[in-house]
Amino acid sequence: MNSAINKCIKYEISVPSKEEMFMFPVPKLCSIERKLSRLRCSDEERQRLMASHAPFGELFTDHMVVAEYTKAEGWHDFAVTALEPFSCHPATSVFHYGQAIFEGLKAYSQPDGSLAAFRVEKNAERFIASAQRMAMPPLPKEMFLASIQALVETDRKWVPAGFGESLYLRPFMIARESLLGTRPSSVYTFSVIACPVGNYFPNGLSPVSVWVSTDYVRAVRGGTGEAKCAGNYAASFLAQQQAREQGCDQVVWLDAIELKAIEEMGGMNLYFVFSENGKKKVVTPAPSGALLKGVTRDTLLTLAGDCGYHVEERRIELDEWRDGCANGRISEVFACGTAAVITPVGRVKSARGEFAINDGKSGEVTMLLREKLLRIQHGLDADPYSWRVPLVGVGD
C-alpha cells in the first residue's frame, strides 16, 4: 500500500510560456486545489494493472477533478482529489430527471515523453453546447482545459506510451440539487475521471458487423441528438441489445421520421468510401440536427481531403448503401470516434436483408486514414492545423 500523502496545497496549473500553444486562452492564474490524501496504487501495482490490458473503461487512475456550481457562486471549488465515490441524497435531481452530460477525449504520449491532447477545444465547445441544451450551466472553456491538464499532470504515470494507447478522459456534469420538482437543478457537480486504454473493441481492428434498427430511433431533429447527454445512451441500449441478438456488434441508426437516411453507428459517426471513375470519394452523413457531430468526424473531413480524396457531407440512404455495395460503387465503410478511432464495418444486417462490404474485409482508405490520424495524435507526424494541445511538458 502507498504511504499517505496528506497534501492539501493549491494546485498551480502550469501555464506554458507561449499561450498561443493552446487553441484558446488559459487564464494566467487558474488554481485548482490539490487534496491528495491517499494513492490507490503503488508504482508496482499500477504497472501490473496497466499491463493487464483491462477492457475499455474498466481501469481508473488514482485521481479525479471535482468542482461545484451554485447560482450564487457560479463554478467554484475546483480540486484534484483521490478518486472516490460521491455521496448523494436520494432526491438528487440527476437520478430523477437525468440532467447529465459528458465528453470523451484522450491524452497521448509524445515521442519526447511529453503528453498532449487532441483538439480539446472542440470537446470544451461541445460540452458548452450540451449544457445549454440540457438547461445546465456551461463550464467556461478555460476551466475545462485547466481541469484536463490538472488531472493528466497528476496522473501522468497512468498514460500508456504504446502506439494506439492513451489516457481516456471523461469530463461530466450532473445535477446535484435534492429536488423532486420538475425544473432544472440549481446545483451541479463537474468532474473528470480517467482510464488508461488500448483497443476499444475486443477484436481489435477486425471489421464490425452492424444491425440497422427500424424498431428504435436514437434521436430526432429538435431533440437531444446533438447533445452528449446521458439519456441518449440509456435510450440506445435496447437497440444495441437487439443488435447483439441479431449476431451483430453494433447498431446503426436511421433518421427518425422516414427510417431511410443513415445517421450514425452506436457511439460513432460513419464514413462511406465511393469509387467513381477510378477516383475515391469519402462521404459522411450531413449533420441532420439529430446526429452527434464528432470531433473525429470533423478531423477526417480535413485529413481525407489532404490525402487527395474528394470529401462530401450529404444524405445517404440504406438503399444506396446496399445497392452501392452490390454494384461496387461503395468499396469501404468505416466508423469513427475518439474511443475506437477508426473501425471498419464489414457486414450490414437489417429487417430488409443482409449484405457485406468489401467481402467483409477492411479497406485501404480506412487503414490509411486511421494510421494518419493516430500518427498525428501520437506526435509522429507534422501537425499543420495545430490540433495537438500540449498538456504536460517533458520535465514537469
Give the binding site for ligand PLP (CB under 6 A).
Answer: 104, 264, 267-269, 292, 294-297, 337-338
CB contact at 8 A, 148 and 105? yes
Q: Which three cell numbers stand for residue 318?
A: 440504406
Q: With respect to ligand PLP, which residue has the nearer C-beta, 99 or 269?
A: 269
Q: With respect to ligand PLP, which residue has the nearer C-beta, 213 or 269?
A: 269
Supply the minimum distance, in Å, between the C-beta of residue 174 and ligand PLP. 17
Supply the minimum distance, in Å, between the C-beta of residue 395 and ligand PLP. 31
Q: Reduced to 3 states, what is the DSSP secondary structure of residue 237?
A: helix
CB contact at 8 A, 81 and 39? no
Supply the minimum distance, in Å, between the C-beta of residue 218 and ligand PLP. 7
Quickly count: other Cβ atoms within 10 Å of residue 262's Cβ.
23
**Amino acid present at 173:** M
Q: With respect to ligand PLP, which residue has the nearer C-beta, 13 or 335?
A: 335
CB contact at 8 A, 105 and 377? no
Q: With respect to ligand PLP, which residue has the nearer C-beta, 196 or 285?
A: 285
Q: With respect to ligand PLP, which residue has the nearer C-beta, 254 or 295?
A: 295
Burial 144-181 (b: 16+ CB within 10 A, else e): bbbbbbbbbbbbbebbbeeebbbbbbbbbbbbbbebee
Supply the minimum distance, in Å, between the C-beta of residue 231 and ligand PLP. 12
Q: With respect to ligand PLP, which residue has the nearer C-beta, 179 or 282?
A: 282
Q: Which three cell numbers stand for residue 158?
A: 497512468
Q: With respect to ligand PLP, which residue has the nearer C-beta, 331 or 343?
A: 343
Q: With respect to ligand PLP, which residue has the nearer C-beta, 118 or 274?
A: 118
Q: Which residue is listed with cell 460503387? A: 329
Supply the minimum distance, in Å, between the C-beta of residue 268 and ligand PLP. 5
Q: With respect to ligand PLP, which residue has the nearer C-beta, 124 or 318?
A: 124
Burial 225-261 (b: 16+ CB within 10 A, else e): bbbbbbbbeeebeebbeebeebebbbbbbbbbeeeeb
> In the complex, which residue's CB is closest to ligand PLP?
294
Strand partners, 261: 317
Q: What ranges make up the beta strands (E) of the chain?
A: 7-12, 31-36, 63-70, 74-82, 100-102, 105-109, 115-118, 166-175, 187-197, 208-212, 250-254, 262-265, 269-276, 279-285, 310-314, 330-337, 341-350, 353-356, 388-392
Supply the minimum distance, in Å, between the C-beta of residue 29 and ligand PLP. 30
Supply the minimum distance, in Å, between the C-beta of residue 322 and ligand PLP. 22
Helices (H), 282-388: 295-306, 318-327, 364-377
CB contact at 8 A, 11 and 150? yes
Supply the minimum distance, in Å, between the C-beta of residue 386 and ligand PLP. 18
Supply the minimum distance, in Å, between the C-beta of residue 263 and ligand PLP. 9
